[in-house]
């Protein structure tokens, strides 16, 4: 197994040589894998800021992947879609009394998920950074806006983990605040994931 720019996993196959060559020809083979949406996890961490940030609290949001595909080998790529309407604020990280209000605000004020129902990522380049690590660049469609993003990815077999950071304002989203801005969420979101391929 070899790894290089533009490849998550370079799989080598051999084709019997012709009578002229009298040897095997080696070619790189692309392999498509489907993302296992029942096992894959994507989590968004929303931090807090402001003069009285100690009075607020941070949020963790689960974003289940609706569908996706990973292509390994020559022309490798990654693409997946999240249904914005299915994003859920994690109950184990949120005060019970605040959970319904935070969930409603995320869906109606932040995501406007009935209007912008899909969050889509398409890779444009996959570059090996050594071992089982890659820098994946691509485009993210969120809140009706398309922006370039970069993702750090590590792999182990058919499991890929990684981290990305984006700013809400880049996608036309105004971070929610309270108390005249004394308590508000951070513009930057931290996105972690564990993607299982099959």
What domain count does the chain have? 1
Domain that holds residue 115: 31-196
State the pLDDT at residue 54: 37
State the pLDDT at residue 57: 74
The pTM assigned to this predicted structure is 0.79
CB 39 within 8 A of CB 196: yes
**Residue 57 domain-assigned (yes or no):** yes
Q: In DSSP terms, which residues pair with 43 in a beta bridge?
A: 62, 192
**Residue 188 domain-assigned (yes or no):** yes
What is the chain's Cα-based Rg? 21
**Residue 98 domain-assigned (yes or no):** yes
**Residue 103 domain-assigned (yes or no):** yes
Residue 107 neighbours by CB under 8 Å, 6+ apart: 84, 85, 87, 113, 114
Residue 90 sits in a domain whose CATH number is 2.40.128.110
DSSP symbols for 12-31:
EEEEPPPTTT-S-EEEEE-E
Residue 140 neighbours by CB under 8 Å, 6+ apart: 119, 120, 121, 146, 147, 148, 149, 166, 171
**Residue 1 domain-assigned (yes or no):** no
Rounded to whole angstroms, the Cα distance separating 134 from 68 reads 18
State the pLDDT at residue 56: 54
Measured CA to CA in angstroms, residue 143 lies from 85, 119, 150, 186 at distances of 12, 8, 18, 17
State the pLDDT at residue 30: 59
**Residue 21 domain-assigned (yes or no):** no
State the pLDDT at residue 53: 37
State the pLDDT at residue 176: 84
Name the nearest CA neighbour of 124 among 83, 78, 82: 78
Token reading at 50: 């402001």
State the pLDDT at residue 26: 34
**Residue 191 domain-assigned (yes or no):** yes
**Residue 18 domain-assigned (yes or no):** no
Q: How do residues 133-143 score in pLDDT, each as one tens digit?
A: 999 999 999 99
State the pLDDT at residue 37: 98
Dmax over Cα atoms in the chain, in whole Å?
Answer: 80
pLDDT beneath 70: ranges in the chain: 1-30, 50-56, 177-183
């Amino acid at each position: 197994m070899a790894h290089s720019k533009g490849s998550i996993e370079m799989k080598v196959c051999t084709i019997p040589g012709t009578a002229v060559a009298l040897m095997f020809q080696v070619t790189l083979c692309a392999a498509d894998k489907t993302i296992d949406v029942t096992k894959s996890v994507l989590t968004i961490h929303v931090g807090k800021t402001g003069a009285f940030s100690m009075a607020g609290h941070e949020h963790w949001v689960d974003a289940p992947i609706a569908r996706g595909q990973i292509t390994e080998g020559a022309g490798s790529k990654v693409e997946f879609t999240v249904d914005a309407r299915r994003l859920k604020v994690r109950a184990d990280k949120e005060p019970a009394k605040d959970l319904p209000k935070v969930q409603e605000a995320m869906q109606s004020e932040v995501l406007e998920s009935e209007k912008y129902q899909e969050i889509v990522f398409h890779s444009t380049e996959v570059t090996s950074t050594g071992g089982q690590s890659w820098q994946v660049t691509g485009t993210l469609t969120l809140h009706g806006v398309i922006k370039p993003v970069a993702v750090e990815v590590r792999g182990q077999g058919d499991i890929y983990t990684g981290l990305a950071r984006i700013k809400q304002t880049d996608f036309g989203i105004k971070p929610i605040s309270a108390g005249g801005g004394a308590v508000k969420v951070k513009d930057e979101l931290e996105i972690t994931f564990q993607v299982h391929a099959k």
